[in-house]
């Protein structure tokens, strides 16, 4: 009995020992698996980490990378971006974007390499934040879609189309001029954007869709309200990393009811596109049945951007309804806020620098005289100094202070002779490049002579990248420049602008775009239509 009992106890101990060994074995397997995963992770990232080790940059932490550097208000974020470039200079430096490696590119020679490389055409995943608003238009489209759309759409932006837009430019600016009369005689400053934002939106809606939104006369516009809220919603997402996953953001917008903002934004374009497609098909059928040419009235009708997309479709482009809408909305958003903010900044600069304002007005007077004749596309080519002022405004305050490109293959840059590995995010910063003192002496000063032809000739072509550059550069840069020239010249023909703000008072903030944190306060007076300077 004793032997039996001892045998039974020994058997239990051996079983228990076997069970513990199995537990230990499981632990060893799990640990080994994690070690292998870690080694594989480090091995696949070795090129990024080797490159990062050769560069300076802000501190980074697991998972969040250098994210703590950019915690704060929209004003604090842009201040920190500028501060980082002041600390680390124009040489490339690393910024860990979570677990992804970002490398800043500032020098024009390096900027040219990246923006012109076929290996750097892809936008960073950051641009997915805009997809609920602009879909996959030229701004945010993946490379394969962008190539096709860009090839088809680029010829659309020719001189003939831009010339047709001039009646709209003039009509909307005449309304803007009348609206500004409300501010005459007032000593308290008003915010320029309260008027200019509506005007630029009306212009782009008319030229993109042929739709008269008329927000200048009727501030209650569902589309205008949705556009503002959609921009705010996208900007809010940027500063809340927990909303980065699409599924989380989708749940958030549905729970809060904010998904209706995007529906409201797309409602008008969808409706207009549907109506235009029906009219387009009817006209095509009528012309085919009657076998006659287009009437004179049709020839005189304003041909808008949407018309050209439908023409492309008729020629075999096969755009879907969503693709047409995405391109129209992209143009509308890109052509309203960007132009509006730049015009506000430019007028504020002219209010601060009265001598430069006088010089601009003198040029306008020389070109257009003291009559009320409408400006033409030929007149705009003569407003050379005004264009210098607009470009200097864009240099000083680029609307998009950061451009992010993800490399699809290795790319070598001049600075440091660095080879940037595939998967690197290149952070191109117009606000840094535009403020390199070797390129622009006293870079935070407003000096339109920076864009005197002789000075431009001395600088590298990519010293000015307000409209980006290379194959994915802004397709609407000529449209934007013409639109802004017409708006500013029309304003200055009628009013002089004044402000108590100093250049040092201007604070910036960054949401989707960079803008003045404190608005654009100014007062206006009726213009005395006489030249200020005697021309040679």
As a whole number of angstroms, the distance between CA 515 and CA 192 comes to 13
Residue 317 DSSP code = I
The answer to whether 474 is a known ligand-binding residue is yes
E strand or H helix that includes residue 106: none
What is the DSSP code (8-state) at residue 495?
Answer: E
Q: What share of the chain is helix, strand, coil (3-state, %, to 5)?
A: 60, 10, 30
524 phi, psi to nearest 5 deg:
-130, 155
Q: How far apart are CA 429 and CA 468, in angstroms?
A: 10
Tokens, residue 225: 């309200």
| DSSP-H helix ranges across 295-416 | 296-300, 305-312, 321-352, 354-368, 377-380, 384-396
Longest Cα–Cα distance in the chain:
128
Contacts of residues 76-84 at CB distance under 8 Å and 24 or more positions apart, as own/partner, are 77/239, 77/509, 77/510, 78/401, 78/431, 78/508, 78/509, 78/510, 78/514, 79/508, 81/401, 81/402, 81/429, 81/431, 81/510, 82/431, 82/432, 84/58
d(CA 353, CA 360): 11
Backbone angles phi, psi at 61, to 5 degrees: -130, 160
The residues pairing with 521 across neighbouring beta strands, listed in sequence order, are 191
For residue 461, the number of C-alpha atoms closer than 13 Å in the C-beta half-sphere is 7
**Contact at 8 Å (CB) between 428 and 400?**
no
d(CA 419, CA 455): 32
Give the whole-angstrom CA distance, residue 225 versus residue 215.
Answer: 10
Q: How far apart are CA 488 and CA 92, in angstroms?
A: 38
Residue 327 CA: distances (Å) to CA of 87, 161, 441: 39, 17, 39
Work out whether the CA dihedral 122, 78, 357, 526 comes out positive or negative.
Answer: positive
Point out the annotated binding site for heme.
474
Point out the annotated binding site.
474
């Amino acid at each position: 009995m004793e032997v039996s009992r001892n045998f039974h106890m020994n058997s239990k101990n051996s079983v228990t020992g076997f069970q513990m060994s199995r537990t230990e074995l499981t632990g060893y397997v799990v640990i080994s698996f994690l070690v292998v995963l870690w080694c594989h992770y480090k091995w696949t990232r070795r090129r990024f980490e080797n490159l990062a080790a050769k560069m300076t940059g802000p501190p980074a932490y697991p998972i969040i990378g250098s994210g703590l550097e950019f915690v704060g208000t929209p004003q604090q974020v842009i201040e920190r971006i500028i501060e980082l470039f002041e600390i680390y200079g124009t040489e490339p430096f690393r910024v860990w974007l979570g677990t992804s490696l970002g490398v800043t590119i500032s020098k024009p020679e390096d900027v040219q390499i990246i923006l012109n490389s076929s290996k750097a055409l892809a936008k960073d995943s950051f641009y997915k934040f805009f997809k609920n608003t602009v879909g996959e238009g030229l701004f945010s489209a993946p490379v394969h879609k962008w190539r096709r759309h860009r090839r088809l759409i680029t010829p659309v932006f020719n001189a003939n189309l831009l010339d047709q837009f001039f009646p709209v430019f003039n009509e909307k600016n005449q309304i803007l001029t009348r609206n500004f009369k409300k501010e005459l005689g007032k000593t308290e400053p008003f915010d320029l954007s309260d008027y200019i934002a509506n005007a630029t939106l009306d212009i782009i809606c008319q030229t993109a869709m042929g739709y008269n939104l008329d927000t200048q006369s009727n501030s209650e516009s569902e589309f205008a309200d949705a556009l503002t809220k959609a921009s705010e919603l996208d900007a809010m997402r940027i500063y809340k990393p927990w909303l980065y996953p699409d599924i989380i953001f989708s749940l958030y917008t549905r729970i809060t009811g904010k998904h209706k903002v995007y529906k409201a934004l797309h409602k008008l374009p969808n409706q207009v596109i549907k109506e235009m497609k029906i009219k387009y098909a009817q006209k095509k059928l009528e012309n085919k049945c009657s076998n006659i040419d287009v009437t004179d009235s049709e020839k005189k009708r304003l041909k808008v951007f949407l018309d050209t997309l439908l023409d492309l479709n008729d020629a075999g482009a096969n755009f879907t309804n969503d693709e047409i809408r995405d391109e129209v909305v992209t143009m509308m958003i890109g052509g309203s806020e960007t132009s509006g903010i730049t015009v506000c900044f430019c007028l504020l600069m002219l209010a601060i620098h009265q001598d430069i304002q006088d010089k601009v007005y003198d040029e306008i007077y020389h070109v257009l005289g003291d009559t009320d004749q409408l400006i033409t596309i030929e007149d705009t080519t003569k407003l050379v100094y005004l264009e210098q002022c607009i470009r200097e405004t864009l240099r000083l305050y680029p609307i998009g202070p950061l451009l992010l490109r993800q490399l699809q293959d290795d790319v070598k840059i001049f600075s440091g002779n660095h080879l940037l590995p595939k998967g690197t995010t290149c952070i191109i910063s117009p606000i840094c490049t535009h403020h390199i003192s070797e390129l622009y002496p006293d870079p935070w000063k407003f000096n339109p002579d920076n864009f005197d032809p002789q000075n431009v000739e001395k600088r590298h072509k990519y010293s000015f990248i307000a409209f980006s550059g290379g194959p994915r550069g802004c397709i609407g840069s000529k449209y934007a420049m013409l639109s802004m020239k017409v708006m500013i010249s029309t304003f200055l023909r009628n009013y002089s602008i004044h402000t108590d703000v100093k250049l040092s008072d201007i604070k910036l903030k960054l949401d989707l775009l960079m803008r003045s944190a404190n608005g654009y306060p100014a007062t206006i007076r009726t213009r005395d239509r006489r030249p200020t300077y005697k021309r040679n």
